[in-house]
Amino acid sequence: MKKLFTILVLAQCFLFTKAQPQTALNMKFPSLDKSPMDMTYFPDNYPMRKTQEKTNEPLIARVIYSRPQKNDRVIFGDLIEYGKVWRLGANEATELEFFKDVTIGNKKVTKGRYTLYAIPNSDHWTIIINKDTDTWGAFIYDQKKDILRIDEPVQKIPGTVEVFTMNFTKTTNGANLLMSWENASVTLPISFK
């Protein structure tokens, strides 16, 4: 009788635990991504400055991207092939959002959310702003949805940038979006004044 009672109690416990909703206590969390997502703003650190009431500048732009690491690999011309569309990072394609109309080259880009791609070459990158958003990589990239393409020169930098990095710097007419990895850096000038 004791054996039967024990079996019934264990069966009930098993069924009870299986019926419980997933919580943080019994859920398996995904591991840390090898290319963590990051975000950069113009003006720099805008959300924190706004919270601390330390900015009088309006929010102009934000980039959300994943940051792959070099890890002793040859990046440009090997991992990232020259002449092919690249998502400008890893994982999801890089997202670029403008909070007001801007000018890039001689083309007006209206306020909105876009995907940012590049076609790297050894001496220049073709920077692409595309209206198709929420995509993974460049696997379904559609050139017909480009709103802008502009060629920008590659600047060789001393040393090595281990982790792909994007950030804005202030200029007289607006801002530059700097993109750097390995020993290459490309600048995308953005005007909004």
Nearest to 116 by CA among 164, 70, 78: 164
DSSP assignments along 97-161, one per residue: EESS-EEETTEEE-SEEEEEEEEE-SSEEEEEEES--S-BTTTT--GGGEEEEEEEEEEEEEEEE
Tokens 């993109």, located at residue: 179
Give the N- to C-terminal CA distance of the chain in Å, as an integer: 85
Q: Kindly report, residue by residue over 117-142, the tens digit of the pLDDT.
A: 999 999 999 999 999 999 988 999 99
Separation between Cα atoms, residue 115 and residue 3, nearest integer Å: 64
Question: What's the pLDDT at 30?
Answer: 79
In single-letter form, the type of residue at position 55 comes to T
Q: Is the pLDDT of residue 41 over 70?
A: yes
Q: Which two tokens stand for residue 33?
A: 């991504």
Q: Kindly report, residue by residue over 89-115, the tens digit of the pLDDT.
A: 999 999 999 999 999 999 999 999 999
Nearest to 168 by CA among 193, 192, 147, 189: 189
Q: Where are the domains of the chain?
A: 34-191
Q: What are phi and psi of 30, to 5 degrees?
A: -65, 155
Q: Kindly report, residue by residue over 156-188, the tens digit of the pLDDT.
A: 999 999 999 999 999 999 999 999 999 999 999
* pTM of the model as a whole: 0.81
Q: In 3-state terms, the chain is what percent helix, strand and coil (to 5)?
A: 15, 45, 40
Separation between Cα atoms, residue 28 and residue 107, nearest integer Å: 48
Nearest to 65 by CA among 46, 92, 86, 83: 92
